[in-house]
Chain A
């Protein structure tokens, strides 16, 4: 195993578990406390979606029971409450990401919509034949297909930065591919199938030397790392609430104000205009220009509650705790014969993809499910990554702040069962 000095340093920091009072944290997540097929649930599919703390569920319930009404549209009390709550969350998101202004925070359905928005509103009016969009071989389909559509629409070309056997980006190739024709770089912060943490600050700095803006897909990063968009100096940052302890159907696009101000609206409709006549329509101010129609108000409220939940917790301590678990799990799995780890980058976060010789990942997942253990099996919406390794699927365990060593021990025992059944 290759060791990341940072990871090791954090691994053995003795105060991590205390700092995070794990037992108390687990108690906050109702869904964790149930039996599945006669066993206590061991939830290791956080990469797909995280569980929600009680406070998030309560906030949504409270909104529907007390404050439900449309936002930005009424002067009655309920509408005022809903609007204040909704806009209050925008401030929380701004703080969470350390964005310069709330005008840079656009609520969207999730990462997928955020990337499509940038492709269509930023890329479509600007790009043309000869222009290049630079992505990487480890992108999620949602950071590939919107760019392919854009290429079909504009004549631009997609360029792909490869990665090595460990799952680390080929930085030399990146610097070579980045050139005068590059109009945008779109790169995943933490890979959902390999766990690789990409050196995004370095990638951004290089792109900015050529005045190329950079979109960072932060879907797998935000629940595990402190993200400071100003420190990264990224131009666009995208994430999904549901992987951050918030509900599904809500996500965030962060974009630098100067870029947003210059971009075309994504969708037309109510809320995104300041004045409409049949001759001319004037768009609303930022960020409302990009939020057409009645938004997912309850989702935004839930996201706010999730950020409130995280607020007193130290993201660095959460990251350190997860790194320790990942290290523990990696060491255990490596010791088992017939296991192949997919993604062994020096810098990794919270994700452990693996294969068991002679057993298809779907069979692994079904047998683990029989033990109450939830993992993901499949291509993880990263088919090019599967192709790279000559696989059709992997099994993936992914951790969140509430996981602990018992979960890893259960996984290892479950893998023994898989091997026992398949070796008989």
Chain B
């Protein structure tokens, strides 16, 4: 029970109940991608407005579990106003927080200061089957910035 609260922290439940920037597609949106987790059917569309390398606006649509929805919602709050490179770097941090991914060895590990509120996702690490839920929106954001229309967590 207690460890379940570590996963389903109040912040996650709150962002699941009331996702921010959702459902939203900025009128001047110029980067969008559709993300799908075939394992559980979670599906999101991430919509961004990028100008001069800066994420001016962001929103998402679709439906998923509490972990994927909260992660998407927290992501929109975190990266709005960031430069594209900063958003990508933050994705690396989040991935590292969730998986100890060696790819990101160069980066400072799970830097709570960089991650801020996103640190709340750390409980997901104990549930490897759910890591894809937490990263779905991030992969989709990444695909949108690269100009790929579709991505899956496979």
Point out residues on A near B: beta carbons under 8 Å.
37, 359-363, 366-367, 370, 377-379, 386, 392-393, 417, 421-422, 424
Contacts and interface: CB of A to CB of B under 8 A. Distances in A.
A360 B65 contact: yes
B4 A392 contact: no
Given A378-B41, A393-B40, 11 more contacts: A360-B64, A362-B133, A367-B8, A377-B40, A379-B41, A392-B42, A392-B43, A417-B1, A421-B8, A421-B13, A424-B13
Interface string B37-59: 00111110000000000000000
Contact of B130 (A362, A378, A417): A362
B60 to A, nearest CB: 16
A159 B105 CA distance: 54
A363 B40 contact: no
B65 A362 contact: yes
A363 B65 contact: yes
A385 B143 CA distance: 30
Contacts of A424: 10, 13
B144 to A, nearest CB: 22
A227 to B, nearest CB: 31
Contacts of A360: 40, 64-66
Contacts of B39: 378
Interface of B: 1, 3-5, 7-8, 10, 13, 39-43, 63-67, 127, 130, 133
Given A386-B41, A421-B8, A424-B10, A370 B3 contact: yes
A370 B10 CA distance: 17
Contacts of A362: 40, 42, 65, 67, 130, 133
Contacts of B63: 392
Contacts of A366: 4, 7, 127, 130
A424 B65 CA distance: 17
16 contacts: A360-B64, A362-B40, A362-B65, A362-B133, A363-B65, A363-B66, A366-B127, A367-B4, A370-B1, A370-B3, A378-B41, A392-B40, A392-B43, A417-B4, A421-B4, A421-B5
A30 to B, nearest CB: 24
A360 B64 CA distance: 7
8 interchain residue pairs of minimum CB distance: A392-B41, A360-B65, A362-B65, A370-B4, A363-B66, A362-B40, A363-B65, A393-B41
A45 to B, nearest CB: 13
Nearest to A369: B127
Q: Most chain-A Cβ atoms within 10 A of its Cβ — which of B10, B43, B66, B67?
A: B66
Contact of A363 (B3, B5, B8, B10): B8
A367 B65 CA distance: 12
Contacts of A359: 66
Contacts of A377: 40
A178 B112 CA distance: 63
A394 to B, nearest CB: 10
B41 A363 contact: no
Nearest to B124: A366
Nearest to B62: A392
A363 B1 contact: no
A172 B43 CA distance: 36
A362 B42 CA distance: 10
B88 to A, nearest CB: 27
